[in-house]
Amino acid sequence: MPPILAKAPAVVYAGILFVSIMSSNLFQRYIIRLTNDLRFEMELKILAKLKSSSYERFEKLGNEKVFTAMGDARELADVPEVLMNTFNAVVIVVCCLGYLFWTSLIGGSMILLIMAVLLVVYLYRNKQAERDINALRDLQDKYFIYLNDLLHGYKELRMSAGKTNKLFDNHFFPNRREGKKLATGIAIRYMSNELTGKYSWYIVLGVVIFGLPTLIGFRNVQLLAFISTILYLIGPVAVLVTLVPTITRVKVAVSRLNRFEQQMNTELDKEEVPATPATTIHPAERIRFEDVRYNYTDEDGNTAFSLGPLNLDIEKGKLMFVTGGNGSGKSTFVNLITGLYKPESGRVFLCMADGSEISSEEPHYRDHLSVIFTIPYLFNENYYDFTIDEKHAPFKHLSEIMQLDSVLRLDAKKGMADKNLSKGQQKRLAMIYSLLEAKSILILDEWAAEQDPEFRSYFYRKFLPGLIKDGKTVVAITHDDAYFKYADTVVKFDYGNISSTTEIDLVLNN
Ligand SMILES: Nc1ncnc2c1ncn2[C@@H]1O[C@H](COP(=O)(O)OP(=O)(O)OP(=O)(O)O)[C@@H](O)[C@H]1O
C-alpha cells in the first residue's frame, strides 16, 4: 500500500476528531448562550415590566411577588439543557424502537405498549407532583412576606416576645416545615417513579428472555437483538424520566411568570417613563383638580373608601396647607396630585401660561413636581441628575439651611451624602435632594412631624415662606395648626372630601 494511503485512515480519524471537537464546542457555546439568554432576558423583561408599571399596579402586587418571579426566572436557565437531553434521548428511543419493530413486529409492539403504559402511569403520578410544586411556590410567596416583616419590623419584634413567637411559631416554622414536607414528598415521588421505571425494564427483559421465545417463537438472533437494544434503551429512557421533574418545574415557573406578567401591567395602565426629563420646563400657572374621584376597593370589589369629587385650584407661588383627621384622604390626595394614582373620574392637570394643559397621566407631568413622602426613601446609589462634592455650592448652602453641614459625610465615589442619619435628619437630607431637583412645585407629606420644635418653627415661619418668595408652589400636608397662619390657603379634608377651604389673607384682614 502506498504510504499516502496508509496515512489516510489516520487523517480521516484526525479529521473526524477535529470536526467533532469543533462542532461540540460550537454547540456547547450555543447552549451556554441560550441558557444565559433565557435567564437574564427574563430578568430584564421583569425589570422592564417594573419600570413601566403604574404605582397602583405595583402597590397591589406586593414586593414578595417580585422576589418569587426573579426565582422563577432562574428556573428557565434549565430549558436548553433539558431540550438538548430530551432531543438526544428521544432520537435514541425512536431509533431503538424502529430497530425492534424491524426485528419483530409483535415484539416491538409489545415493548411500545409497555412503554406507553409506563408513560401514562408516570404522567398521572407527575400531576400530583406538579400540584405540590405549585403549592411549594405559594409557600415561597408567603415566606417572602414573613421575611419582609422580619427584616423591616426587627426592632418591634425584639421588643415583644409575643409577636416574635407568633411570627416564628405560627408562620415561619410551619411554613418551612410544610415546605420541607412538600419538597421531600416531591423528591420521593420522583425517586419512586424513577425506580419503578428502571425496574420495569428488568421485568420487560425477563419477559423477553423467558417469555418471547416460547410465546412467539423468538429466534436466538432476534432475542439477542432485543436484549441488547433494551439494555441500550434503559439509559436514554432513564434520562427522559429524570428530566420530568425539571420539565415540570420549568412548566410551573413559566405559567407563574405568565400570571405575574399579566398582573404586572396591562397595556391600559402601562406607564411610559420618558428617557430624559423635558428640556425646557416652564412653571405651571396652577394645578387644577376637576371633579376628581378615587376609590379604594376591597378584595370583593366593594368600595372601602372614596375620595371626592374634588374641585380645587392651587395657584403658582402659593403655599397651601392640607389638613384633616387620620384616614380623611390626605395621602390619597398626594398620590393623585403627584400622578401616582390615576383618578377614576375627573382630571388632575397643570394649566400652563400659554393656555396649554398637562394632564397628570402624561409622562412629563412629574417633571414639574418634587415630593417628599411621609416616610421618604433615601437611595443607596446616586440616581439623581447631579453629583455632590465639597465644592457643590447649592448643596453647601442647603445643608447649612437644614443645619446638616456639620453632620453630613460625603461619599466621594457615589457623589452623594451618607444616609446613616436620624429620622429627622433623613427628612432634612430628602429636602436638600428635592430642592436640588429644582422643580417648581414641592409636595410635602407631614415633613415637619419629626423635626424638633425650634427647627419646626423655623421651617414654617421662615423656610416655607422663603421657598414661596423664590417662586415655588408648595402643598404641605400638616397637622401643625399653630402655623396655619403662614399659609396662603388651608384646605381641610373630612371623610374623603374637602370640608373647608380657608384663605388666610382674608382671615388676617378680617
Ligand atoms: N392602599 C390602600 N388600599 C385600600 N385602602 C386604603 C389604601 N390606602 C389608604 N386606604 C384607606 O383610605 C383612607 C384614606 O387614607 P389616607 O392614607 O389617604 O388618609 P390620610 O388622611 O393620609 O391619613 P393619615 O393622616 O393617617 O396619614 C383610609 O380609610 C385608608 O384605610
Q: Which three cell numbers stand for residue 413?
A: 465615589
* pTM for this prediction: 0.75
Task: Provide the 10 A C-beta neighbour count for residue 163.
Answer: 14
26, 150: one domain = no
Domain interval for residue 26: 1-42
CA-59 nearest atom, ligand 1: 1
pLDDT (tens digit, 9 = 90+) per residue, 184-242? 998 888 888 778 777 877 888 888 888 877 777 777 888 888 888 888 888 888 788 77
Amino acid at 404: L
108, 224: one domain = yes
Q: How far is the CA of 328 from the centre of ligand 1 (A)?
A: 7
Q: How far is the CA of 306 from the centre of ligand 1 (A)?
A: 10
The answer to whether the CB of 100 falls within 8 A of the CB of 108 is yes
Domain for residue 195, yes or no? Answer: yes
126, 221: one domain = yes
Domain for residue 499, yes or no? Answer: yes
Distance CA 190, CA 460 (A): 68
The answer to whether the CB of 146 falls within 8 A of the CB of 171 is yes
Cβ burial 209-218 (10 Å sphere, 16+ → b, else e): eeebeeeeeb
- Please provide the DSSP assignment of 87-124 as one string: HHHHHHHHHHHHHHHHH-HHHHHHHHHHHHHHHHHHHH
Domain for residue 389, yes or no? Answer: yes
Q: Which one, of 110, 116, 107, 113, lies nearest residue 223 by Cα?
A: 107
Q: Which one, of 229, 201, 210, lies nearest residue 108 by Cα?
A: 229
Domain for residue 55, yes or no? Answer: no
Q: How far is the CA of 333 from the centre of ligand 1 (A)?
A: 10
302, 253: one domain = no
343, 391: one domain = yes
Give residues (CB < 6 A) around ligand 1.
59, 296, 304-305, 324, 326-332
3-state helix, strand, coil in the chain (%, to 5): 65, 15, 25
Task: Tell me which residue has its CA closest to atom 12 in ligand 1.
Answer: 305
Domain for residue 59, yes or no? Answer: no
Task: Tell me which residue has its CA closest to atom 26 in ligand 1.
Answer: 326
Domain for residue 48, yes or no? Answer: no
Q: How far is the CA of 305 from the centre of ligand 1 (A)?
A: 8
The answer to whether the CB of 103 falls within 8 A of the CB of 227 is no
Residue 74 sits in a domain of what CATH number?
Answer: 1.20.1560.10
26, 72: one domain = no
Residue 432 sits in a domain of what CATH number?
Answer: 3.40.50.300
Helix (H) or strand (E) holding 57: helix 55-61
Domain for residue 277, yes or no? Answer: no
213, 254: one domain = yes
Task: Tell me which residue has its CA closest to atom 6 in ligand 1.
Answer: 296
Distance CA 58, CA 75 (A): 23
Task: Tell me which residue has its CA closest to atom 7 in ligand 1.
Answer: 296
Pocket probe mutation, ligand 1, options 310, 331, 494, max atoms within 8 Å of Cβ = 331
pLDDT at 509: 40
Last residue of a domain, one of 232, 266, 300: 266
Domain for residue 51, yes or no? Answer: no
Distance CA 309, CA 141 (A): 38
Cβ burial 441-468 (10 Å sphere, 16+ → b, else e): bbbbbbbbebbeeebbbbbbeebbeebb
Q: How far is the CA of 111 from the centre of ligand 1 (A)?
A: 67
Task: Tell me which residue has its CA closest to atom 17 in ligand 1.
Answer: 331
22, 123: one domain = no
Complex-level ipTM: 0.97
Pocket probe mutation, ligand 1, options 59, 292, 330, 338, max atoms within 8 Å of Cβ = 330
Across-strand partners of 292? 310
Task: Tell me which residue has its CA closest to atom 24 in ligand 1.
Answer: 326
Per-residue pLDDT of the chain (510 residues; tens, 9 = 90+): 556 556 788 888 888 888 888 887 887 788 788 878 877 888 888 888 888 888 888 888 777 778 888 888 888 777 787 888 888 888 888 999 899 899 888 888 888 888 788 778 877 877 888 888 889 888 988 898 898 889 888 878 888 888 889 899 999 999 999 999 999 998 888 888 778 777 877 888 888 888 877 777 777 888 888 888 888 888 888 788 777 778 887 888 888 888 887 777 665 566 667 666 666 678 889 999 999 999 998 878 788 899 979 999 999 999 999 999 999 999 999 999 999 999 999 999 999 988 899 999 888 898 899 999 998 888 888 888 888 887 888 899 999 999 998 888 888 888 888 888 999 999 999 999 999 988 999 999 999 998 999 999 999 999 999 999 999 999 999 999 999 999 999 999 999 999 999 988 744 444
243, 290: one domain = no
100, 168: one domain = yes
Bridge pairing between strands 319-324 and 489-494: parallel
Pocket probe mutation, ligand 1, options 321, 322, 328, 336, max atoms within 8 Å of Cβ = 328
24, 122: one domain = no
Pocket probe mutation, ligand 1, options 305, 333, 338, max atoms within 8 Å of Cβ = 305
Q: Which three cell numbers stand for residue 398?
A: 442647603
433, 332: one domain = yes
Instruction: Specify the number of domains making up the chain.
Output: 3
Q: Which one, of 483, 486, 485, 480, lies nearest residue 465 by Cα?
A: 486
**Which backbone phi and psi does 374 adopt, to 5 degrees?**
-55, -50
Helix (H) or strand (E) holding 206: helix 173-206
Q: Which three cell numbers stand for residue 205?
A: 427483559
